[in-house]
Amino acid sequence: MNKPTIAGIKSISIEMEVGVYKWCSCGLSKTQPFCDDSHIGTEFLPIEVEITEARRYSWCACKQSGKKPFCDGTHKQLPEHIAYMEMIAMQASITPNT
């Protein structure tokens, strides 16, 4: 099986209502973290999730979580995330105090 596309390097936090949702597992959807049928023609299928309690949820965007469809922090180990955090740290260190 091919790896899914990394749609984001941090989770997507959304206040959810009770209902049934389709989480994008392929990473191609333009409506992350939810499926927009961009997976059609790939080997991926959306994961159907029933939300039974209205509250904020942290959805996985890197598509690597061990607790799909929800974030488990795996994105913090991705090279893309590490590079991003290093860039932010470097920018902070070269920004002059005003």
Q: Which residue's CB is nearer to ligand FES, number 20 or number 92?
A: 20
Q: What is the contact surface with ligand FES in residues (CB under 6 A)?
A: 24-26, 28-29, 35-39, 44, 46
Alpha-carbon distance of 33 to 43, in angstroms, equals: 18
Q: Give min distance, CB of 27 to ligand FES, in A.
A: 6
Q: Which residue's CB is nearer to ligand FES, number 35 or number 62?
A: 35
Q: Give min distance, CB of 11 to ligand FES, in A.
A: 16
Residue 85 phi/psi, 5-degree rounding, is -65, -35
Number of residues that this document lists for the chain: 98
Q: Give min distance, CB of 90 to ligand FES, in A.
A: 33
CA distances from 28 to 24, 41, 61 (A): 8, 12, 10
